[in-house]
Structure 1
């Protein structure tokens, strides 16, 4: 990919050149005709050993995500000891089948080896940067690997930052650091942040929205946002999905569905299959309706290898093929949503007029051109915009488009092709070359913030406030960075206050604040403030459960936050009590056993190592008698 491709983060990427689709064509053909990708997550073992698995993966999908083979635990299980056999297997398969690869995932609180989790702040940041440089750098010149999930699942359900070992050690600044390291490793890759339960507009997705907006205002290279979309037929569909995708797109980022599956509770029935198919249809249609939605990735394709039954006992059948590789109604739903119903049109639209560039700034430009016409019957669907190397960098449904995220003082050469409803593409328009203007001339830093004061101090958090800074340089006050005594950034805020979370109990913290303006200038350091969190003990651990959602016949506890004391540990055990008649029906990030009404949760293989004051989380789902409103209680940790 060319450098301009990553800069134009507002555009929806097409993974392959669109061709006309016939009504019974593979999913990937219909997706290409709509200017989207249809992807799947692949596991290395069946890919190596099962012909049916390989054939479907190769024939139906035009984008591939490695289910596990590119995660930290698989690529660097020991410090500086890398293994890429699984990752290379995925990339080689995709290359052979004219598919593109989305790398998953670089920085995550799960499936990260214990040797990383216990590092000091300095060493952890160094390990993260080195890991990203090595893994992303390995594929930086490989045209098959085009994008990465850089940071994964950084929020709790209430919109606060997840108290992961990353956050507890490095503060929220690790997110920006990871993106900058990824951009340095591959200037052309599209860089994504990814999370679950952000499909609808809620506290968690709004926190993601605010973070992405903030990071982009700080020139952190966040190019796209991934919406995992692990759905269940026992819960309502997030009907504001399209609206939510569009609000993120309006920030200038690409959006994509990254891990779609729709699990069914209990056995399959015709009614449940129909509901599942409707959910699949709704997701695909939402992506099709948003220009900046690049496509949909299904998390696997056959129920035979789905992660769902192991994670959600009593649930399954979440994918579009059954255990025997037969297509389910959900396959037909995806196919029909992608199939635009006009397979007989093979006449391309007329070539667009030469584009002209206007409103050129240091980071964007508006292109416009004389509209094409279409006589083939399927109608003009829109336009694709390409850079000089032939990489698609934007799409539009009208004869103009606004490009954003460009580099200052840089020449761009672009051309346009029209597309119709059947996926036929016109010839190339004449190219236009334009040069963005210079960078910001603002070199004046904001004034130094007032001395922060600490209030609302608890065992795990505190609120800081300070007298606001002013900015006279012209780019405007953008916000504030909060640092600890070692100079590590631990929080950011767009106002003159911030709530710190994930702190250790009975611990003294010394922090200071710096203001930043729109040009990236930083003020001097404010005077420091020292405060001590309350409660806690010098050892042991604690556990707190939060009810995420509940209904007449059950509830979900997410997260249960396990917070360590002052001594590092390699395992933890949490016990809690279920009311009479309640039963566990699913859990994640812990291994649960039940004896009477007592539940014992033990750490999973990847989250038992906790440093001093570090935290991790797990969750579970409970079924209860109709009309019973009681919930689990009495959480203790050892």
Structure 2
């Protein structure tokens, strides 16, 4: 019933005119953004919508800044694809969330298969971070410095960095990033933090390790790759965000999508998706240090979900023809209803630290 009311509130005039970034700013967030790719230009309607500053005020490159794209062979750096996205953002006067520096996946073979000592891995990491961040210095609002370093049980994921350096690689990564561009916000980024409290606690442990080393860490990125029927409640999501706020960190949803597990979808699934999108965005509105929302990306025609999760899909706010779905309507209505009710996100707002009180409801498990 609540979902139907929410969607009904924006059916008609608002459905055609609601614009996510403008509404998010009015609701006190810094941005509503999307992941983008250089190949977006091959789809005219999608590309035009991705350049609409009133709908999207921030970009994240989906793959163009990852290690295999930026340093495919040792010491040889390539930035053409990433530059095309950054230049689009600058032209559109959008923010950039840059992504990502130290990640176990999409590593070139020379890194993933190398035989590394503590000293050689330290040198390789410093060289990579310094060069990539140096190239984009002053152009990135934030960087995902370390990405997906945890298993779902909260233990450290096995990767070349952990093998060579142990858990010291977290602080080293942030140390090198802070030196390369002192003006940017530095984030740890991971998925399933919303689902598994033990993994959420692992991210707390990483943040504390970095802080204990006297190295800057500014934010926690929660990817929010969700499945309908398994998305935690707004209350539980808010509780998880506040775990990181209690450490003095900003928080953001960095890769949001809500997939429908079994296709073709039906009316019940579509309505459930709309409600769960609104719950996620609502939890960000509930937390003064939640900076913004990034969807991964915004249209079903360009979603990564069907390839990664066969049989699932339709995870985005817009359909395959770049037309808004009920989830778009529910998010737009929620943001519109929150206009003026939260102070604009800024340094003063970001100093607020909420009490971390675990809600009574249990957090559901991921699919």
Instruction: Tell me if both proteins adopt one fold, taking TM over 0.5 as the criterion.
Output: yes
1:288 paired with 2:288, answer no
TM-score norm. by structure 1 comes to 0.51
1:241 paired with 2:202, answer no
Conserved in 2, the CA contact under 8 Å of 1:191 and 1:224?
yes
Counterparts of residues 231-270 of structure 1 (less than 5 Å): 231-238=226-233, 239-266=235-262, 267-270=264-267
CA distance in 2, matches of 1:394, 1:262: 32
Distance change (3 Å), C-alpha of 1:169 and 1:264: same
Deviations 1:233-265, CA, capped at 9 Å, x for gaps: 142425511011112112111000011101112
Give, in angstroms, the shift of residue 333 of structure 1: 1.5
Counterparts of residues 604-615 of structure 1 (less than 5 Å): none
Structure number with the higher strand fraction is: 1
Give, in angstroms, the shift of residue 35 of structure 1: 2.4
Deviations 1:443-483, CA, capped at 9 Å, x for gaps: xxxxxxxxxxxxxxxxxxxxxxxxxxxxxxxxxxxxxxxxx
User: If you compute each CA radius of gyration, which structure gives the higher value, 1 or 2?
Assistant: 1
Deviations 1:386-445, CA, capped at 9 Å, x for gaps: xxxxxx42317xxxx679xxxxxxxxxxxxxxxxxxxxxxxxxxxxxxxxxxxxxxxxxx
Conserved in 2, the CA contact under 8 Å of 1:116 and 1:124?
no
**DSSP 3-state at the match of 1:92:** helix
**DSSP 3-state at the match of 2:238:** helix
For 2:193, which of 195, 198, 220 is the aligned residue?
A: 198
CA distance in 1, matches of 2:343, 2:255: 27
Conserved in 2, the CA contact under 8 Å of 1:153 and 1:195?
yes
TM-score norm. by structure 2 comes to 0.87
Deviations 1:540-569, CA, capped at 9 Å, x for gaps: xxxxxxxxxx99xxx97xxxxxxxxxxxxx
Conserved in 2, the CA contact under 8 Å of 1:200 and 1:244?
no
Give, in angstroms, the shift of residue 210 of structure 1: 2.5
Structure 1: runs of 5+ lacking an equivalent: 1-21, 343-377, 385-391, 404-549, 557-638
**DSSP 3-state at the match of 2:251:** strand
Partner of 1:395: 349
Distance change (3 Å), C-alpha of 1:271 and 1:94: same
**DSSP 3-state at the match of 2:347:** strand
Greater displacement, 213-222 / 71-80: 213-222
CA distance in 2, matches of 1:27, 1:67: 20
Partner of 1:318: 315
For 1:32, which of 25, 33, 38 is the aligned residue?
A: 25
Structure number with the higher helix fraction is: 2
Partner of 2:269: 272
CA distance in 2, matches of 1:217, 1:341: 37
**DSSP 3-state at the match of 1:161:** coil
Deviations 1:472-498, CA, capped at 9 Å, x for gaps: xxxxxxxxxxxxxxxxxxxxxxxxxxx
Structure number with greater CO (CA < 8 Å, separation at least 6) is 2
Distance change (3 Å), C-alpha of 1:136 and 1:241: same
1:156 paired with 2:117, answer no
1:168 paired with 2:151, answer no
Structure 2: runs of 5+ lacking an equivalent: 1-12, 354-363
Partner of 1:41: 35
Give, in angstroms, the shift of residue 119 of structure 1: 3.5
Give, in angstroms, the shift of residue 200 of structure 1: 4.2
Give, in angstroms, the shift of residue 203 of structure 1: 0.6
CA distance in 2, matches of 1:282, 1:213: 28
Partner of 1:207: 202
Partner of 1:106: 101
RMSD: 2.2
CA distance in 2, matches of 1:383, 1:35: 4
Deviations 1:158-182, CA, capped at 9 Å, x for gaps: 1111112221122111111010000
Conserved in 1, the CA contact under 8 Å of 2:260 and 2:313?
yes
